[in-house]
């Protein structure tokens, strides 16, 4: 007699539930990650575009223009702007993103970014 091959119905349902949970988690996390990379690219563009004598308010205004184009809800007041010991402009940011998953469970992601090399 031949042995049966294949997936049992319970195994199929179990793997289906796992895949659905991973997909839902991905759909909730991916927009947050995309926003982080947009902020990172915006601050890099601001530093590349800035003149060495640029002031902090000018740099914040420049970031706000990039944020408006990319539809970012990240305020420029959360940016730390300074010059390093070599006189280069450095912009840093850090924020936490709380993503509700279900009931009382949430996912907390801590984002940090900088233009320093």
Domain count within the chain: 1
Could you tell me the two tokens for 8? 């049992």
pLDDT tens across the length of the chain (117 residues): 678 788 889 999 999 999 999 999 999 999 999 999 999 999 999 999 999 889 999 999 999 999 999 999 999 999 999 999 888 999 999 999 999 988 999 999 999 999 987
Q: Is residue 2 part of a domain?
A: no
pLDDT value of residue 117: 72
Output the pLDDT for position 16. 96
Q: How far is CA 114 from CA 6, 23, 80, 100, in A?
A: 51, 30, 9, 27
Residue 21 falls inside a structural domain: no
What range does the domain containing 74 cover? 29-114
pTM metric for this prediction: 0.83
Domain assignment present for 24: no
Encoded tokens for 111: 């984002």
Query: Does some domain include residue 8?
Result: no
93 close to 113: Cβ distance less than 8 angstroms: yes
Q: How far is CA 89 from the centre of its chain?
A: 22
Domain presence at residue 11 = no
Q: For tokens 């970014």, name the residue.
A: 113
């Amino acid at each position: 007699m031949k042995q049966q091959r294949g997936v049992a119905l319970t195994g199929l349902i179990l793997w289906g539930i796992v895949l659905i949970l991973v997909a839902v988690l991905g759909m909730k996390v991916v927009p947050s990650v995309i926003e982080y990379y947009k902020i990172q690219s915006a601050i890099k563009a601001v530093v590349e575009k800035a003149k060495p004598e640029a002031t902090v308010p000018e740099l914040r205004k420049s970031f706000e223009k990039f944020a408006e184009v990319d539809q970012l809800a990240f305020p420029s007041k959360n940016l730390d702007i300074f010059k390093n010991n070599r006189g280069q402009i450095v912009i840093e940011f850090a924020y936490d993103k709380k993503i509700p998953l279900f009931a009382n469970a949430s996912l907390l992601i801590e984002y940090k970014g900088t233009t320093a090399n």
